[in-house]
Chain A
Amino acid sequence: MTKSYVGALQRVAGRLGFAICALVLMAVAPSPGWAQGARAVETMSVGDEPGRISTEEVAITEGPFARQLVLFRSNEAPGTLVVHTSERFLYVVMGNNRALRYGIGVGREGFQWSGLVRISRKAEWPDWTPPPEMISRQPYLPRFMAGGPGNPMGARAMYLGGTIYRIHGTNQPETIGHAVSSGCFRLANGDVIDLYTRVPVGTKVVIRHAASV
């Protein structure tokens, strides 16, 4: 991804202004040259529903986006996370050509990226800071919402290196399988909790924008 493209993404994101992750993670400085992904301001879709409840028990149980063991040929070491944004899948490499696969929601067009990062931090029921534009639309919202079941960040978060992106839960499980965010990867709360228990800080994460054979 070229710098000009990254800059364009930043400008687009800036104009859109739905900068949730950026606002939440203002203290997180990007690490240039590590991840190849766009340094676009992380956003959530306009359709975020702060205050909507999704409990820890909510998981995808049917269809291709249900958590399941699958055949997965990869040279990555067991324990590595591989994200295929085009497929809307996240894999935990298990070895022996197998992986545990989760359905995810990914960045909408223009907000998808690829790169190599590591889990730098983990948090249970992460806090959420609505972006100013959302406050303008929904002025009754608090300017900061401590973690909880009504929080759009969901039950768990795993921070991706020094980027503004993360793998997190959601209070909108119906968005799994769709391109809805602006770069973060979201799982249903029950699934992100399961993943959270399997992934220590330091875990390698490979994000592929196009499906690989």
Chain B
Amino acid sequence: MTVGKIVEILDARIVTGGDSLDFEVGAACGADLMSDVMAFVKDRVVLLTGLVNPQSIRTADLLDIRVVVFVRGKMPSEDMVAMARDNGMVLLSTKYSMFLACGRLYEAGLRAGGVREIS
């Protein structure tokens, strides 16, 4: 699924990275706990989160996650946007809640969680 399609499905605002709308992601992860993201994410995912602080950008950067969606209408600070821009990341903001945002992407065909096997 392309970033452009995600923008459309989530009726999202593009905060930064508008030149990467063709970028493809194959999986999604919804989490507010960054340690969980680091523990379980395996593949390249789009990260959906309600956590709006520099750590969400940093966690994504360290895991090579290039697309982050802030749910519940949250907007990242200027510092975060600058950091994301430096790293070549896409930041989106959607008014949908975490549940609805994830549900809409799932329904549109983005099915993989991109996480390691959880025993």
Answer yes or no: do A and B interact: no
* Residues of A participating in the B interface, judged by any CB pair closer than 8 Å: none
* Residues of B participating in the A interface, judged by any CB pair closer than 8 Å: none
